[in-house]
Structure 1
C-alpha cells in the first residue's frame, strides 16, 4: 500500500488526512498549526518536521492548501517539497489553485521523475469526512491511474469530472464553475431585493424564479441559507476575490471578453473591503442588502428612513455588519 503525505491540515486538509488514515494508508502530515497536527496524530497520522520531510516519506504527496501562494511556497519556495519527491512518486493537488501556478509546479515535479495530477475539490468539510467529494481532474492517464485508489478514499469514481490531460484543465473548470456560482449569488440577491422593494411577497417570488428559465442550483439548494441570515461561513471572501481575479487575469491574457465577470469580481472585492478577510460565501449578498437598506428574510421589512448616501439604518435587532 502506498504511503501518503498530506501538506495542509486546514478545514479540508484535516478531514482528508483522516479519511486516508481510516482507509488504512500510512499517513504523514505537516501543517504550521501544531494543534491540528496533534489532532491528526491522535487519530493515527505521523507528524513530520516540514514540507520536504513529508514529500521524502511519501509515495503519494497530497497538497490541500489555502491557495496558490501557499502551494507555491510549500512546493517550490522555502518548503522545497518538490526536491523531496522520489522518482516514480505522484503529487496530487487538491488545492483551489491558479492553473498557472499548478503548471509551474508540475514542470518541477516532472523534472524529478514524478507524476502530477490536479484534482481541485467540490464540496465542504462534511463531504471530505464522509468521502463524498467531487473532483475536477486534469492530468495524464498514468497520473490518474496512480492516483485513483487514493482518490477513492475521498469520493466515488462516478463523481469525478475528467477535464483533460493538461493539469491546468481541472483548475480552470472549477474556477469557471465557481465564477458562475459567485455571479448567481449577486444576481439572485439583486432580483429578490428589487422584488421585495416593489412589495412582492418574497416566498412567492422565490418560488416563481426558482422554477423559471432563470432558476439555478444556488436558488434550489442554497438560497434558504441567505433567507435564514446564514452567509455560509465556509469559504473566505478574500479567497473568492482571489479566484475571480485569477479568472479575469486569464480572460485578459487570452483576450476573451469578461465584462460580467469583472463586475462580479468588483462586487466581491467591495464586500471584502467592507467586511474584511473573513469567511462568508454569501457576503456579497450581505453587502447588497446593506446598500438596499433591507434584509432578505422571507417577509417584507418596514421601510427604513434616513436616506441619502449614509449607511443603512437597520431595524432593532438586525445586524449592521
Structure 2
C-alpha cells in the first residue's frame, strides 16, 4: 500500500461493537479516520485511539475519500445516508461509500442507486466474524457493487478483514450475508441442543467439545460459542436482537424468492421468542438458554 493510500481520509459512521474496532484498525493501518456515533462517547474513544470525532454525519463525511457506514438496520442506514445531514447530500463527488451494515438486499439496491445519483461509488459490504473478528481485523467481507469500485476499496477492506470476496452487483453482498446468518443461527441452535443433550447424560462436556471440534461436527460456531454455553456467559459479541433482525431478512427474502428455509424459520421463531421476553441484549449463543429451559434444565 502506498503512503498516499495510507493517508486517504475515511469517515466511519456508527461506532458500536463492530464499527469502533474497525475504525481503530483503519487508524492502525495509517488512514486518517473521522468517526461519528449517536453516542458521543464512542467517537471520543476513537479520538483517544488516534482518530477524530465529528459532531454530525455531515461533518464526518464532508472531506472523506471513503465513507463506511456500520449501523444496525435498514432504517438506520437510510437515516444516515438520506436527508440534509446525510451522507449523500454532504459527501464529495467520487467518494466511495461502503455500507458494512447488514440490511435488506432490496434496500441495498435502492440506496446504491441513490448514491450513484449523488455521484458516489456504492458498495454493500456486510461482514461476518463478530466482535473478536473486528478486533483482530480478520472479518469475512462479502461485497456487492461494481468491480472497479471493489478494487478501489480493497486496500481499505484489507485493513479490517481477511477473507474479502466480490460476490456480484449491488445487493449481492447483503444476500450472501443473509445466507451467512441463516447458517450461523442453525449452527448455534444445533450446538445448543447438543450441549443440553451431553449435559443430560453427565458427559465431560469440555472433552466432548474437544473431540467434536476435531471431526466433521467441528465449526467456528463450536469453537467460538461452545465455551460460552458451558459457562452460561452470554455477554454480547453479536446480540440476539440483531440476529432476530437478520433472520427476518432471511425469511422475507426466501419467501420473495419462492424457496423454503424450514430450519431457518424454526430457529427464527426461537430467536424471536428470546427477544420478545427481553433477552435481545444477550449474545446469540443465548439460544442455549431457551433450549435448556425447554428441556426443564437450569
TM-score by length of 1: 0.82
Is contact 2:9–2:33 with CA below 8 Å preserved after alignment?
yes
Residue 176 of structure 1 is aligned with which of 170, 175, 179? 179
CA distance in 1, matches of 2:222, 2:184: 10
How many residues align? The count is 292
Residue 245 of structure 2: aligned partner:
242
Larger displacement relative to structure 2 (129-138 or 115-124):
129-138
State the shift of 1:235 in Å: 1.5
Residue 149 of structure 1 is aligned with which of 145, 152, 155? 155
SS in 1 for 2:11: strand
Residue 163 of structure 1 is aligned with which of 164, 167, 173? 167
CA distance in 2, matches of 1:105, 1:7: 16
State the shift of 1:232 in Å: 4.9
Q: Aligned pair in 2 of structure 1 residues 33, 207: CA closer, same or farther (>3 Å)?
A: closer
CA distance in 2, matches of 1:239, 1:18: 22
Gap runs ≥5 in structure 1: 295-313, 315-321
Determine whether 1:269 maps to 2:269: no
Question: Cα RMSD (Å) of the superposition?
Answer: 2.3
SS in 2 for 1:62: strand
Is contact 1:231–1:282 with CA below 8 Å preserved after alignment?
yes
State the shift of 1:208 in Å: 6.5
- After superposition, residues 1-321 of structure 1 pair within 5 angstroms as 1=4, 2-77=8-83, 79-156=85-162, 159-164=163-168, 166-197=169-200, 202=205, 206=209, 210=213, 214-294=217-297, 314=298
Is contact 1:9–1:64 with CA below 8 Å preserved after alignment?
yes
CA distance in 2, matches of 1:152, 1:204: 36
Q: Aligned pair in 2 of structure 1 residues 25, 207: CA closer, same or farther (>3 Å)?
A: closer
CA distance in 1, matches of 2:20, 2:198: 42
Gap runs ≥5 in structure 2: none
| Structure with more contact order per residue of length (Cα contacts < 8 Å, sep ≥ 6) | 2
Is contact 1:63–1:92 with CA below 8 Å preserved after alignment?
yes
SS in 2 for 1:222: helix
**1:66-124 C-alpha deviation (Å, 9 max, x unpaired):** 22221111112564211112221110111122222211211111102211112111223
CA distance in 1, matches of 2:194, 2:35: 46
Q: Aligned pair in 2 of structure 1 residues 111, 230: CA closer, same or farther (>3 Å)?
A: same
CA distance in 2, matches of 1:177, 1:251: 13
Q: Aligned pair in 2 of structure 1 residues 224, 44: CA closer, same or farther (>3 Å)?
A: closer
TM-score by length of 2: 0.88
**1:25-54 C-alpha deviation (Å, 9 max, x unpaired):** 222221111111222223332333311232
State the shift of 1:167 in Å: 2.1
Specify the structure having the higher radius of gyration (Cα): 1
CA distance in 2, matches of 1:110, 1:229: 47
Residue 309 of structure 1: aligned partner:
none
Larger displacement relative to structure 2 (10-19 or 119-128):
119-128
Give 1 or 2: higher helix fraction.
Answer: 2
Is contact 2:35–2:43 with CA below 8 Å preserved after alignment?
yes
CA distance in 1, matches of 2:293, 2:88: 47
CA distance in 2, matches of 1:68, 1:87: 24
